[in-house]
C-alpha cells in the first residue's frame, strides 16, 4: 500500500479500503451496504492514520453497526460507544498541526506556486501555534478566537487569511471523519465569527475612502444602470483595478482586443515601468462597445468630442449616485481586500495586478506569459464576483 499509486480502491478486508485518487490523495474509507445501497465513510488520510489505527476504527464501526447503529452514528466520536468501551485501544488522536500539514501536502500540487505553499505553512505556524498540538476533533470556537483576536485588527489581512485556512483544514478534517459530522465549523465566517469578532471595515482604508468588497456587486449593478461615459470609465477602472490616471489616459493604440492585453506605457505608470494588464472578457466587451471603426491609435478611449473625461467627472458621478463618501482610487483597495479576504490567489500575483513594486527577480517571473494568464484568471474571477457578465463559473 505504501508504494501503490494507481487510482482506485485497495481492500484490506472487513469493509476497510484505501482509496487513491487520480491526484494521488490516499484516504482510508469504510464501506458497507445498507438496504441494498452502498455507503462509504472516510476514516482519515493515509499520511495521518496508520494501518493499525484504520483497522481499529473499522472494527469499532463494524461492532456498532452490529448493535444497530447507523454508519454516521457509529463513526461519530460524540455518539455511540467509544473505541475503548468496544474493547479496543484508542489510537492516538490526530492533532490539528499534523492534519493541517497532511492536508497541505494533499492539495498543494494544485496551487502551482511555491510562495503560496510557504504562506499557508507560515501563517499556521506563526499565528495558529496554539492549535497545533490540540486534537483536531477538539478544536472549538474559543480556540479559533484565541488565535485570531490578537491580530484581527493589527494584521487584518493576515488574520482573515488565517481564518479561511483554519476553516478549510477543519472542513477537510470533518470530511475525513476526524470531526463530528454534526458539528459546525468553529472557523466559519457567516453567522458565526462575523458576529463574534469586531468589524475590520475601517482598518485598511487610509485616506482613500473604499467600498467594502462585500458591497461591490450591488454597487456594480447601480453603476451599470448609468449611461454617462464617466460610468463606463469607472467600470473600466474597477474591472482592471487600475489607477484612474492610467485609465483616463488610455488610447486605443495601447489596447489589443484580440489578445485582450492593455499595455500601459511607463510614463503613465507610478513606478515608471510599462505594465501589461490582462483584460477580462467583461473589460473586452466594454471596450468593444466604446470603440468605433474610426477610432485612431492615438485617440483617447474615454473622450467625447476629443475631450477626455477627468477624475472630477467620476467624482461627480459618485456624488450623483449618493456615494460621495467614495473615491475612485479606493476601488483598488476594494479589489485588494477582496483578493485577500475571499480568494487564495498568491500575494505576489495580486501585487503585480495592482502594479505594486515587487523584487526584480519575482517581477520578471510574473511578466512571463504563464503569469499573465494567471493574472487574467484573477481578473476574470473579479469580474464574475462583481456580476459584470455571465461568465463561466
Q: What is the pLDDT of residue 4?
A: 61
Quick: pLDDT tens for 246-259: 898 899 999 999 99
Q: Percentage of the chain surpassing pLDDT 90?
A: 33
The pLDDT value given to residue 114: 66
Other CB atoms within 10 A of residue 28 CB: 26
- Higher pLDDT, residue 86 or 235: 235
Dihedral sign of CA atoms 185, 189, 194, 199 in order: positive
pLDDT, average across residues 276-280: 94
Query: Are 349 and 264 contained in the same domain?
Result: yes
Per-residue model confidence (pLDDT) at position 370: 54
Residue 266 and residue 144: Cα distance in Å, rounded? 46
**Total domain count, the chain:** 3
**What residues contact 227, with CB distance under 8 A and at least 6 apart?**
none
Residue 89 lies in a domain: no
Residues 279 and 367 in one domain: yes
Q: Is residue 85 part of a domain?
A: no
Same domain, 62 and 106: no
Instruction: Point out the domain boundary residue: 195, 224, 257.
Output: 195
Q: Identify whether residues 148 and 229 lie together within a single domain.
A: no
pLDDT at 83 over 60: no
pLDDT at 24: 65
Kindly state whether residues 332 and 221 are assigned to the same domain. yes
Residue 280 CA to residue 380 CA, distance in Å, equals: 5
**Residue 135 scores a pLDDT above 80:** yes
Q: Looking at residue 7, what is its pLDDT? A: 75
Residue 180 pLDDT > 60, yes or no? Answer: yes
Confidence band for 106, pLDDT divided at 50, 70 and 90 = confident
88 is a domain residue: no
> CATH number for the domain including 185?
1.10.150.130
* Of 147, 168, 195, the domain-final residue: 195
In a domain, 344, yes or no: yes
Tell me what percent of the chain is helix, strand and coil, each rounded to the nearest 5.
50, 10, 40
At 325, the pLDDT band (50, 70, 90 cuts) reads confident
Region 51-70: what's the mean pLDDT? 84
pLDDT digits (tens, 9 = 90+) for 184-234: 999 999 999 999 998 877 655 444 578 889 999 999 999 999 999 999 999
Does residue 261 sit within a domain?
A: yes
Q: Which residue has the higher pLDDT, 362 or 337?
A: 337
Specify whether the CB–CB gap between 9 and 15 falls below 8 A: no
Question: Given this model, what pLDDT does residue 78 score?
Answer: 33
Instruction: Give the chain's mean pLDDT.
Output: 81
Q: 187 and 285: one domain?
A: no
Which residue has better confidence, 370 or 175? Answer: 175
**Residue 266 in domain:** yes
136 with 231, same domain: the answer is no
CA distance 69 to 57: 15
pLDDT at 77: 43
362 and 257 within one domain: yes
Is there a single domain that holds both residue 56 and residue 144?
no
- At 344, which CATH number? 1.10.443.10
Report if residue 205 sits inside a domain.
no
Query: pTM above the 0.85 mark?
Result: no
**Domain shared by 300 and 343, yes or no:** yes
CA–CA gap between residue 59 and residue 86 (Å, rounded): 9
Q: Identify the pLDDT of residue 76.
A: 56
Q: Give the CATH number, domain containing residue 13.
A: 3.30.160.390
CB atoms within 10 A of CB 164: 18
Tell whether 208 is covered by a domain: no
Q: What percent of the chain has pLDDT over 70?
A: 83
Q: Is the pLDDT of residue 34 over 80?
A: no
Asked if residue 107 and residue 65 are part of one domain, the reply reads no
Lowest-confidence segment of 67-71, 85-89, 271-275, 320-324 by average pLDDT: 85-89
CA distances from 140 to 21, 71, 92, 99, 198 (A): 30, 24, 19, 16, 19
What DSSP string describes 280-330? PHHHHHHHHHH--TT--TTSBSSEETTEEP-HHHHHHHHHHTT-TT--STH
pLDDT of 140 reads 94
Take residue 303 and report the three cell numbers written for it.
Answer: 473622450
- What's the confidence (pLDDT) of residue 244? 87
- Which pLDDT belongs to residue 363? 46
Which tops the pLDDT comparison, 392 or 170? 170
What is the domain extent for residue 350? Answer: 213-386
Q: How far apart are the first and last CA of the chain?
A: 37
Place of cell 480556540: 143
User: Do both 360 and 268 map to the same domain?
Assistant: yes
Amino acid at each position: 500500500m505504501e508504494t501503490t499509486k494507481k487510482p482506485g480502491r485497495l481492500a484490506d478486508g472487513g469493509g476497510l479500503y484505501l482509496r487513491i485518487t487520480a491526484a494521488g490523495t490516499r484516504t482510508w474509507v469504510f464501506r458497507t451496504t445498507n438496504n441494498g445501497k452502498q455507503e462509504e465513510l472516510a476514516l482519515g488520510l493515509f499520511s495521518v492514520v496508520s494501518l493499525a489505527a484504520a483497522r481499529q476504527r473499522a472494527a469499532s464501526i463494524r461492532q456498532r453497526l452490529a448493535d444497530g447503529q447507523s454508519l454516521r452514528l457509529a463513526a461519530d466520536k460524540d455518539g455511540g460507544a467509544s473505541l475503548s468501551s468496544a474493547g479496543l485501544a484508542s489510537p492516538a488522536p490526530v492533532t490539528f498541526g499534523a492534519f493541517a500539514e497532511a492536508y497541505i501536502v494533499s492539495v498543494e500540487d494544485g496551487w502551482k506556486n511555491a510562495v503560496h505553499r510557504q504562506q499557508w505553512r507560515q501563517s499556521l505556524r506563526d499565528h495558529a501555534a496554539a492549535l497545533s498540538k490540540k486534537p483536531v476533533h477538539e478544536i472549538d470556537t474559543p480556540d479559533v478566537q484565541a488565535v485570531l483576536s490578537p491580530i484581527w485588527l493589527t494584521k487584518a489581512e493576515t488574520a482573515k487569511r488565517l481564518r479561511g485556512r483554519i476553516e478549510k483544514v477543519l472542513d477537510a478534517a470533518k470530511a475525513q471523519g476526524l470531526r463530528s459530522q454534526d458539528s459546525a465549523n468553529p472557523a466559519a465566517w457567516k453567522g458565526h465569527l462575523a458576529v463574534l469578532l469586531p468589524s475590520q471595515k475601517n482598518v485598511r482604508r487610509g485616506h482613500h475612502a473604499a467600498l467594502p468588497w462585500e458591497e461591490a456587486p450591488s454597487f456594480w449593478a447601480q453603476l451599470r444602470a448609468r449611461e454617462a461615459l464617466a460610468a463606463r470609465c469607472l467600470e473600466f477602472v474597477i474591472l482592471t483595478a487600475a489607477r484612474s490616471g492610467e485609465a483616463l489616459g488610455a488610447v486605443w493604440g495601447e489596447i489589443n482586443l484580440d489578445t485582450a492585453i492593455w499595455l500601459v506605457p511607463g510614463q503613465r505608470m507610478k513606478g515608471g515601468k510599462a505594465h501589461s494588464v490582462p483584460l477580462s472578457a467583461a473589460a473586452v466587451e466594454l471596450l468593444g462597445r466604446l470603440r468605433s471603426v474610426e477610432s485612431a491609435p492615438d485617440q483617447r478611449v474615454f473622450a467625447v468630442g476629443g475631450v477626455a473625461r477627468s477624475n472630477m467627472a467620476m467624482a461627480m458621478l459618485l456624488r450623483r449616485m449618493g456615494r460621495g463618501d467614495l473615491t475612485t482610487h479606493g476601488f483598488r483597495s476594494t479589489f485588494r481586500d477582496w483578493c485577500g479576504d475571499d480568494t487564495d490567489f498568491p500575494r505576489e500575483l495580486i501585487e503585480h495586478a495592482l502594479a505594486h513594486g515587487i523584487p526584480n527577480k519575482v517581477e520578471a517571473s510574473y511578466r512571463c506569459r504563464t503569469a499573465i494568464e494567471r493574472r487574467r484568471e484573477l481578473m476574470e474571477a473579479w469580474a464574475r464576483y462583481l456580476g459584470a457578465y455571465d461568465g463561466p463559473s
